[in-house]
Each structure stands twice: as C-alpha cells, then as structure tokens.
Structure 1
Amino acid sequence: MSLFPVEMESERLRYERVHPDDFDPFELYEHVRAGAPGIDEITEYVTWDPYEHPKEAFDVVDRFGDGFEANEKATYAVRPKDGDRAGELAGFAGLDPHWDRRQAILGVWFRKPFWGRGYSGERAGRLLELAFDRLELEVVTVTHDPANENSRRAIERYVDRFGGRKEGRLRNDIIIDGQPRDSVRYSITREEWAANR
C-alpha cells in the first residue's frame, strides 16, 4: 500500500499517478518532445529539456513509478474533468516529501493551452491537503525562476490565500540549460493552511 493516493480530484481537475501500470509514456512524449506545440515556452523555466526520443518518456514514467512505490515522491498527470479539453493531459503535478524535515516541495508544469485557467492554485490546494492531512507534514515549499512572471503571479496568489509567505531568493539553486540560476522560495505551514483553507 502506498502513502499516496493513486487518484485524486479537485473541483475541476483529476489527478492520476504517473506509473508504468497506469500511464502511457507515448502520451507524455507527444506533448514534451522537441518540436511539440509550445514546448519551448513550457521548458524555458524548468529543469528539464524537450525530449529527443520516446525512451526519455519511458524512463521518466519508470522513475516516477519507482518513487511512488517507494513512498518517496508522488507525481500525477493532471486532466480537466469537464469542458472542451476534458480528459486531456494538461500537465504534471508533484509532491516531493523530505520525511526527515517533515517538509515537501510542490512541483508543476502545464501545457500552454492550460495556462491562465487557475489550475496551478487549484492543484496546490489539493496537494497541500494531501501533504498536511494525510501525510502529516509540517511545511510545504515551492520555488520559481525569478524571471518567470507567470509562475510568480500564480504562486503568490495561492501562497497568500493559504497564509504562507515568501522566504526569499536562493542563489544558484537550480540548473537550467546547464547553467546555475537563482530561485525564489515560498512556504506554507500546516497551521497557516489550516487557518486559511
């Protein structure tokens, strides 16, 4: 039995674990391969590059499946439940617990057609509930590249909503395109979330 649920829902979204038993790597490859629509904008501020061949998608799905089974990390495919794109892969959402620190890191990326719909905040609320109610963690953090204005706005909205705060700028915290870059970090505690849920 896993610590993480295999499937979850929020108001508009469904979350399905990314695991070789449940998820088709070719679906991922279709949207993140080099030359896929919007891929350059999607990967501008993330720590991975467009995939050059399907094996990369298979390796990622295997790795996420292993992390899920080992209770180390939960990665979910995110799909709208209703509307013109119902059931379509919108992106991935992850929760990466650090059990010894009673902390977890939120992660997400969405395909460009799903930007600007408020999905990032909705997904954050659902993963915060998982982190605090089910996993009994104490702090959840999230970061973004300082130049990524879209992420900054989305993160600040839900961090403010749940009573969290901006921690500050971490220098040379991430690697993008082989170069170290700063990140901006925010955190939400279980108490802050409980008072503002």
Structure 2
Amino acid sequence: MSLFPTELESDRLRYERLHPDDIDPFELYEHVRAGAPHIDEITEHVTWEPYDHPQEALEWIETCGENFEDSDAATYVIRPKEGDRAGELAGLAGIQPDWDRQLAVLGVWFRKPFWGRGYSGERAGRMLELAFDRLDLEVVAVTHDPENDNSRRAIERYVERFGGRREGRIRNDIVIDGEPRDSIRYSISSEEWRANRG
C-alpha cells in the first residue's frame, strides 16, 4: 500500500500515477523520444534527455512504479479534462518527500502545446495540498535552471500566491547535458500555504 493516491484531479487537470499497471510505455515514449515534436525545447532546462528507444520509457515507468509502491516518490501523468486536447498526455508531475526533513520537492515538465495555460500553477496547488493535507509535511521546495525564464515566471507566480519565498541560488545543484549547473530554489511552508490557500 502506498501513501500516495493513484489518481488526483484539479479544476482542469487529471493526474494518473506513472506505474506499469496504468501507463503504456509507448504513449510516454511517443512524447519523450529523440525527434518528438519540440523535444529539444522541452529538455533544454531539465535533468533528463530524450529517449533513444522504448525500453528507456519502460524502465522509467518501472522505477516510478517502485517508488510509488515504497512511498518514496510519486510521478503523475497530467491530462487535461476538457477541450480539444482532453485526455492527452500533457506532461509529468512529481513529488518526492524527504520524510526525515519533513520536506517535499516538486518537479514538472509539459509538452510545448500545453505551455502558457496556467497548468503549472494549477498542478502546484494540487501537489501542495497533497504534501500538506495528506502527507503532513512541513515544507515544499521547487527549483529551476537559472536560464529557464518560463519556469521562473510560473514558479514565482504560484510561490507568491501561496505565501512562499525565493531562497536563493544553489551552486552546482543539477546536471543538464552532463554539465553541473546552479539552480534557483523556492519554498513554501505549511503555515504559509494554509494562510494563503483560499
């Protein structure tokens, strides 16, 4: 039994666990493979690279399934509930608790057709609710590559909305294309979130 729910919803989005029992690896592979539409833009500022073959998608889904079952982390497929792209794989959202530190780290990426729709903030609100109401954690953190202006803007909007703050620059915190890079970290406490959730 996992501490994470297998499915979640927010106003416009549905979240399904990334797990071998639920997700076809070929569906994921179609959007994360080398040569997929906009894949170079999608992966420019993230810590993973386009997949060369479907086995990589299967292995990632299996890893996510094990993490889910062990309550170490949850990764969700994000799908719009309505509109012309309803039901499509829009991206992935993750939450990784560090139980000893009472901290969760959030992560997300979206396919380019889903950029600029406010989905990142909506997803953040749902993941914060999961972290604070269900998992009883004290702090949620999120980081981005300093060169990723799209992520910066999205993160700043929801961090401000929920009363959090920018903590600063962490040197050599992430690796992108085999090179260490700094990250910019933000956090929201459970108290800040509860005071600003409405």
Paired residue for 1:84? 84
Counterpart CA distance in 2 for 1:111 and 1:193 is: 28
Matched to 1:93, the amino acid is A
Distance 1:111 1:145 in 2: 17
Give the gaps of 5 or more residues in structure 1. none
Residue 2 of structure 1 and its aligned partner are, at CA, apart by 1.3
Mapped partners of 1:95, 1:48: distance in 2: 16
Tell me which residue corresponds to 2:123. 123
The 2-side partners of 1:174 and 1:7 are apart by: 29
Q: Which runs of 4+ in 1 moved over 4 A?
A: none
- Length-normalised TM-score, structure 1: 1.00
Residue 13 of structure 1 corresponds to 13
1:97 aligns with 2:132: no
**Structure 2, unpaired ranges of 5+:** none
Within-5 A mapping of 1:1-197:
1-197=1-197
Percent identity at matched positions? 76
* Number of aligned residue pairs: 197
How far is the alpha carbon of 1:5 from its aligned partner?
Answer: 0.3
Distance (whole Å) between structure 1 residues aligned to residue 24 and residue 109 of structure 2? 18
- Letter of the 1:81 counterpart: K
Q: Deviations over 1:19-55 (max 9, x none)?
A: 0000111001000100000000000000000000000
**C-alpha displacement at 1:122, in angstroms?**
0.2
Deviations 1:143-194 (A, max 9, x none): 0000000000000000000000000000010000000000000000000000
The two structures, once aligned, show a CA RMSD in angstroms of 0.3
Q: Distance in 2 between matches of 1:138 and 1:170?
A: 21
TM-score (ref. length: structure 2):
0.99
